[in-house]
Amino acid sequence: MGWDFSTEPEFQVKLDWVEKFCREEVEPLDLVFPYAVRSKDPKIKALVKGLQDQVKAQGLWALFLDEELGGPGLGQLKLGLINEILGRYGSAPQIFGSAAPDTGNMEMLAAYGTEEQKQRWLVPMLNQEMWSAYSMTEPQGGSDPNLFKTHAVRDGDEWIINGEKWFTSAGRVADILFVMCTNGMFVVPRNTPGVEIMPEPRSHNHIIYRDVRVPADHLLGPEDGAKVLAQRRLGGGRIHHAMRTIAQCKLAFDMMCERALSRESHGKIIAEHQMVQEKIADSYASIQMLRLFVLETAWKIDNSSTQETRTDIAAVKYTMAKVLREVSFNALHILGSLGTTNLTPIQAMYSAAPTMGIADGVDEVHKATVARNVLKSYRPHEGYWPTEYIPAKRAAAREKFEPMFVADPDLRTIADGYAKYIAART
Ligand SMILES: Cc1cc2nc3c(=O)[nH]c(=O)nc-3n(C[C@H](O)[C@H](O)[C@H](O)COP(=O)(O)OP(=O)(O)OC[C@H]3O[C@@H](n4cnc5c(N)ncnc54)[C@H](O)[C@@H]3O)c2cc1C
């Protein structure tokens, strides 16, 4: 009977190390040197490297990559448990070499790159000597890839790319851009002539690709394979993301509970007011449900495949967004005026929560996928009534008893009595 929710003691030791390391080393770095990981200052770089070396010594660097792709091959469940810690600390994913969008791009390179492409891009990305961005969404529509127009045309030993992309996160500071074209996924160095980055938005960039020429070997994977590669970069990533979201929910929950015990109003501490208790109880249950759902989905991926688990991966995606919205709202509300300031993490968490329902695909699209997939295992009922229509089921059940009624007429009389009683109640 394999139904066990515990963590192996040896792995718990690793988790304890990650938790202590993040609390004692990563958080102080974040507070004093925000965005240190991207700094070009040699002194800051040395600080970051010192921490990253400790992560590497623990064998926890680039932990999202499977063993055959050059990572520790922890599997999604263990990865999920680690991400549940990392998600609480801003730069922890980078300190562990596991930050989006590089993770997904590295997964595509590891899975589809030639040996030469891996040496040229994957190795420096793994060492954080090179940063990347992912250019998929277009201004005319993000949710429907069939609306994308960016296209590459072969010209001798080169491809010429023309198109326009919207919301390429960190595109401005990336060394290379993974550009999804209608006929393939291309790697484009950012400084290639024709790559024009618009002034707005600042962080998620609007980029025009105007007659951008790249060598033929900058096509990643097969020609026309962009959609398959795009799926590859999202599957497992959503689970890591979900566990980091749980970390955020727990942070909000911890703040809510601590505050509820620390403030007084109308003669009692606010934790004793029932409407505050309701928020705490609802938040607790939502986090627990989400956590179990995410971990079970991770377990299913480990025991089958990303493809076979796609319905649950999609369901996790919009559920985590919903729980973050709820829990961060509850926490902000219980913190009162302080919650509305930027003096605690809660205001930023709450204001960022709606983006979770948009980034990586809007809720509606994932919900439609889930509903479509789930409905595949159902059939319409015949005739007017649903399968659970009680009079029909009761009549069928009586048929089952008919041989017993024939053998024992008293039993039929008793059954008739029940039938009369039921008819009188309806
Ligand atoms: C923080 C953040 C980071 C991002 N980073 C990147 C990145 O690095 N690279 C990149 O390429 N993109 C990125 N994106 C863009 C993201 O992929 C798109 O925002 C997303 O796919 C939705 O596209 P859209 O914004 O064009 O919204 P639209 O497609 O215009 O959708 C808007 C709304 O229309 C409704 N809608 C749309 N389709 C349906 C449907 N089928 N059924 C029902 N309702 C529907 C929904 O209410 C939806 O919210 C990022 C987005 C965010 C918020």
Evaluate if residue 235 carries a pLDDT over 70. Answer: no
Q: Is 336 in the pocket of ligand 1 (CB under 6 A)?
A: no
Q: Is 362 in the pocket of ligand 1 (CB under 6 A)?
A: yes
Q: pLDDT exceeding 70 applies to what percent of the chain?
A: 99
> Does 136 lie in the same domain as 104?
no
Containing domain of residue 93, as a range? 9-113
pLDDT at 425: 86
In CATH, what number is assigned to the domain containing residue 69? 1.10.540.10
- Which of the listed residues 220, 255, 274 is the one where a domain comes to its end? 220
In CATH, what number is assigned to the domain containing residue 198? 2.40.110.10
Which amino acid does the sequence have at 222?
P
Rounded Cα–Cα distance for residues 421 and 80 (Å): 55
pLDDT at 238: 79
Q: Is 135 in the pocket of ligand 1 (CB under 6 A)?
A: yes
pLDDT at 74: 87
Give 314-346 pLDDT, tens digit per residue: 999 999 999 999 999 999 999 999 999 999 999
> Does 248 lie in the same domain as 190?
no
Structural domain total, the chain: 4
Q: What is the mean pLDDT of residues 4-19?
A: 95
- Which of the listed residues 220, 242, 257 is the one where a domain comes to its end? 220
Q: Which atom of ligand 1 is nearest to 357's Cα?
A: 49
> Does 365 lie in the same domain as 238?
yes
Which pTM does this prediction carry?
0.93
Rounded Cα–Cα distance for residues 203 and 140 (Å): 19
- Which of the listed residues 171, 203, 220 is the one where a domain comes to its end? 220
Q: Cβ atoms within 10 A of the Cβ of 383, count? A: 7
User: What one-character-per-residue DSSP string does 2-67 give?
Assistant: ----PPPHHHHHHHHHHHHHIIIIIHHHHHHSTTGGG---HHHHHHHHHHHHHHHHTT-TTTTS-G
